[in-house]
Chains A and B, each alone.
Chain A
Amino acid sequence: MPTRSMPRILLSTFCLLSSLLAVPVLAGGEVNIYSARKEDLIKPLLDDFSKQTGVAVNLVTGKEEALLQRLQSEGVNTPADVLLTSDAGRLSAAQKAGVLQAVQSKALMTQVPASYRDPAGYWYGLSVRARPVIYARDRVKPGDLSTYEALADPKWKGRLCVRSSDSVYNQSLVAGMIAHHGEAKAEVWAKGLVANFARPPKGGDRDQIKVVAAGECDLTLANTYYLGGMVTSQDEAEKQAAAKVAVFWPDAKTTGVHVNVSGAGVTAHARNRDNAVRLLEFLVSDSAQRWYAETNNEYPVNPAIPPSATLKAWGEFKADTLNVAKLGELNAAAVQVMDRAGWK
């Protein structure tokens, strides 16, 4: 390698690199987003927003905690105007860290029900995910199922598959248990659940659904949009697996099905505050809410918007009315409960 010219090679590489970063500026100004939602799950909506308003949207995705850390360490100079997350707990953590500001907007208040937003307006839910029981049609009678609590019953020994307690979905579910029953009871329940595991926890929600379909276990807990993704999948095997399982909505007579939201808040030091609020309002508008339902197989936060045909097929359910902010507060306690229960 002609190493003499290395500085020159380096320089030209950097010039090329920086040319990659040229960002088109639209007439309507811009809005910058830190998103813990994957690009595919939000970008199409953002493109629509740009088209309608002329506001350029700049996006960087990542994991919740890393984005929160980035916001915190950047302080007043942060370029981010909006923090988007896939879990309400993380939004309340961001609020506590002081990186969000309260927003009062009539559109947001009317479109988003009270249990799906922060009472003071620091963040708003955008879409709802539900975590019901999913069971094998040929091996489980829905009549045998009732509540989350009943899953700890020894009759399900060796018949239950659940993913790892590293998953925020399970952490949030256990946080809900703690909110309703207290830590001690939640731990007893978690121990019972662990005793019923057919195998050590591993893989994601789709993996659990697939092994239920294949017969390694009889039931699991999974978010509905994963099942929705399998029903509409291009992959024949996934479609067939989805056909072998069914959804059971637990806790219909008690506290209701465990739900959580994806949501967003405007950052404390947003430079494009008005555009940020406009974006939030756009995301809860009827057309955007319909997109969540049709494309992502999520439930809209706005109860007036009907869910997609796929979701309708699973029937209606009673959602837990606990404010989702509570789940965030109890998340750390939930992780410890799961550690003590031996939930890997």
Chain B
Amino acid sequence: MEVDSPHRQPLFRWKRGVWARADRWSLLVVGVALALALPVLTVFVTALQPPGAVWRHLADTVLADYLWNSVSLMLGVGAGALLIGAPAAWLTSIHEFPGRRWFEWALLLPMAIPAYIIAYTYTGLLDFAGPLQTALREWFHWTRRDYWFPEVRSLPGAVAMLALVLYPYVYLLARAAFLDQSVAVLEVSRSLGAGPWRRFFAVALPMARPALIAGVSLAQMEALADYGTVQYFGVSAFTTGIFRVWHGMGDSAAAAQLAALLLLFVFALLVFERLSRRRARFHPAGNRRHRPARVALRGKRRWLAAAACLMPLLFGFLIPAGQLAVWAARTAPQVLDGRFLQLLANSLLLALGAALLILLLALVLGYGRRLRPWPLTRLAVWGAGLGYAVPGTVIAIGVMLPFAAIDRGLDGWARQWFGVSTGLLLSGTLTALLFAYCARFLPVALHGVEAGLARVRPSMDDAARSLGAGPRAVLWRIHVPMLRGSLLTAVLLVFVDVLKELPATLILRPFNFNTLAVRAYELASDERLADSASFALAIVLAGIGPVVLLSRAIGRSRPGYDAVP
């Protein structure tokens, strides 16, 4: 293996300044990041047109609504995810109570349920015409005006739905952070007489802050990009506005401008996240291999802890999955046929391919940034992470336009020089689709990779380099084996995300290629919820396996911290 030693001369040195320092790693990082930022850049370029008459109309009528709803959604989901995720992570990682081992992984399950599907199931249950309200009316002989019932299809309803399926991001990252915290600090604070609440608020929480903020911002970005739930609930947010302007008014420039405005929120979120992480850079110190005891909860507290963990699981998974199962049991014989296995294979392979590809890119970017922490590479990596908060449809269009331009260019060139047409090489292929997944889900993997890398002390790299290992050797032989847990987490998170992904798949997929998500959506959007349940349930079941693996990966990431029987 060729070794790129620190003493080697940079590749390009024809100019002083930035270029003089450009070498293979920095070029690779900037190149990959630029490519991944292409869809977002396309949106901005499309948005660079003088605002048309539609803006006047929007400002006069609905823009304030979009702003208010999107900001509320973002803040509400962030708060909800934090309030559910952080305590659950604290309880399961440090304490012992009935069902703890089980909750550890089960609390991740809601992640396997796509947000729009949980929205459908709760609407089916809680709506005016649903079984619960109908039963209430029958028992008490009420009519519509005799009682009040919370309206599920509303802004608070949308916040609740999204928080229920997005809190696992906070839980996951917080748990990894709590497990990773120096046990010594917690034990010292305990021996100094700090009670459990105090230990949580004064010691553990501040130390886990980077992880908590990372988790919350992931959840918030997902919430901003959500279209299915808000659309079904009739909550007019930025995403529904983009579609309305584009589909209803046929004004793609104004739609791009709305999307660009949405991106400003994301900028703000990401800047906030970076700033709050900058000040807190912990590399775990000291020996982590000793075996501390979990804090065994006693008496009433044991059951309170168990109940606190059961709630999110019940509302985020058991009830919606149960409803899906009830529907599926009734309709499966009519809707399942030979195509089902093909759909399942398509979904799984696509998700696996995308997850591995994205992990590779995230490793390149994360490691490159560590290797060359220059403003340019940092900016590039940061830019590549914007796609997560962009609605899948916008990303898809941002992929479609430049790819079509490349195809046209190649085709024109081939016709001119060789007299043959190359046709479409990229458009309408799986390549385009995989690229869109990369642009959208890279941040998920990058978060994991960077969080993992941050925990590897830089002195490790230095030691390896001084023993003659090049950067690539350090990555493959030192980091990758050490980060096994983080990397597995990244792969599994992306896998589950791609499995659930709908809008980009719908727009970019090739002929005769469907996935479970597409099939579930087609039936649900034709208002055949019960018929779509089998496919939705298949997505959930396919996601459960990775979720369980995920939890094991984190459990193992803290050697010596075996459960106390």
Contacts and interface: CB of A to CB of B under 8 A. Distances in A.
Interface stretch (B30-38, B82-90, B480-488): B480-488
B356 interface: yes
Contacts of A235: 330, 530
B461 interface: no
B563 interface: no
Contacts, number: 187
Interface stretch (A38-46, A280-288, A306-314): A38-46
Interface in B457-491: 476, 480, 484, 487-488, 491
Interface string B358-369: 011000000000
A206 to B, nearest CB: 4
Contacts of A234: 330-331, 334, 530
A153 to B, nearest CB: 21
B311 interface: no
Nearest to B505: A62
B346 A20 contact: yes
Contact of B251 (A58, A226, A332): A332
Contact of A335 (B244, B511, B522): B244
B552 interface: no
B248 A335 contact: yes
Contacts of B535: none
A199 B128 CA distance: 11
Interface stretch (A65-73, A144-152, A256-264): A65-73
A266 B423 CA distance: 19
A344 B234 contact: yes
B232 A203 contact: yes
Interface string A300-340: 00000000000000000000000000000001101110011
A220 B435 CA distance: 44
Interface stretch (B11-19, B192-200, B266-274, B393-401): B393-401
Interface in A192-208: 199-207
Contact of A166 (B240, B334, B404, B408): B240
Contacts of A1: 480, 484, 487-488, 491
A340 B61 contact: yes
B62 A339 contact: yes
Interface in B115-172: 123, 127-129, 133-134, 137, 143-144, 151, 153-154
Contact of B153 (A203, A206, A336): A203
B55 interface: no
B397 A69 contact: yes
Interface string B212-243: 00000000000000000001111010001001
Name which of B244, B334, B428, B511 has the most chain A CB atoms within 10 A of its CB: B511
B525 A74 contact: no
Contacts of B246: 65
B248 A331 contact: yes
A216 B144 contact: yes
Contact of A3 (B252, B427, B480): B480
Specify the main secondary structure of chain B where it touches its partner. Answer: helix
B7 interface: no
Contacts of A75: 404, 408
Given A16-B349, A205-B527, A235-B530, A64 B247 contact: yes
Contacts of A206: 527
Contacts of B153: 202-203
Nearest to A24: B512
A17 B527 contact: no
A213 B133 CA distance: 13
A59 interface: yes
A166 B397 contact: no
B114 to A, nearest CB: 18
A117 interface: no
Name which of A20, A32, A211, A344 has the most chain B CB atoms within 10 A of its CB: A20
A114 interface: no
Given A60-B511, A64-B247, A229-B527, A201 B234 contact: yes
Given A9-B356, A200-B234, A216-B128, A21 B513 contact: yes
Contacts of A70: 400, 427-428, 507
A77 B423 contact: yes
A231 B61 CA distance: 39
B350 interface: yes
A65 B345 CA distance: 28
Nearest to A16: B349
A213 B356 CA distance: 50
B182 interface: no
B61 A339 contact: yes
B4 interface: no
Given A166-B231, A229-B528, A235-B330, A214 B134 contact: yes
Interface string B370-406: 0000000000000000000000010011001100110
Contacts of B350: 17
A235 B404 CA distance: 45
B424 interface: yes
A14 B353 contact: yes
A168 interface: yes
B391 to A, nearest CB: 12
A184 interface: no
Contacts of A13: 349, 352-353, 356
A166 B248 contact: yes
B267 to A, nearest CB: 26
B248 A203 contact: no
A203 B233 CA distance: 7
Contacts of A66: 393, 396-397, 506-507
Contacts of A120: none
B74 to A, nearest CB: 20
A272 interface: no
Contact of A62 (B129, B342, B507, B523): B507
B127 A207 contact: yes
B6 interface: no
A224 interface: no
Interface in B422-440: 423-424, 427-428, 430
Contact of B356 (A6, A40, A63, A64): A6
A40 B526 contact: yes
Interface in B497-553: 506-507, 509-514, 518-519, 522-523, 525-528, 530
A40 B351 CA distance: 25
Given A166-B248, A336-B249, A60 B512 contact: yes
Name which of B357, B424, B428 has the most chain A CB atoms within 10 A of its CB: B428
B234 A214 contact: no
Contacts of B511: 23, 32, 58-60, 79
Interface string A235-260: 10000010000000000000000000
Interface in A6-43: 6, 9-10, 13-14, 16-18, 20-21, 23, 32, 38-41
Contacts of B151: 199
A241 B400 contact: no
Given A73-B427, A75-B404, A17 B353 contact: yes
B57 interface: yes
A16 B251 CA distance: 40
A95 interface: no
A171 interface: yes
B251 to A, nearest CB: 7
B23 interface: no
A61 interface: yes
B236 A344 contact: yes
Contact of A203 (B234, B250, B487): B234
B144 A215 contact: yes
10 smallest beta-carbon distances between A and B, as pairs: A202-B234, A73-B404, A335-B248, A214-B129, A58-B511, A210-B129, A339-B61, A332-B249, A13-B353, A206-B527
Given A214-B129, A229-B527, A336-B61, 4 more contacts: A40-B522, A66-B507, A79-B424, A334-B248
15 contacts: A1-B491, A14-B353, A17-B353, A20-B513, A40-B523, A60-B428, A60-B512, A63-B247, A69-B252, A70-B428, A77-B408, A93-B250, A203-B127, A213-B129, A214-B129
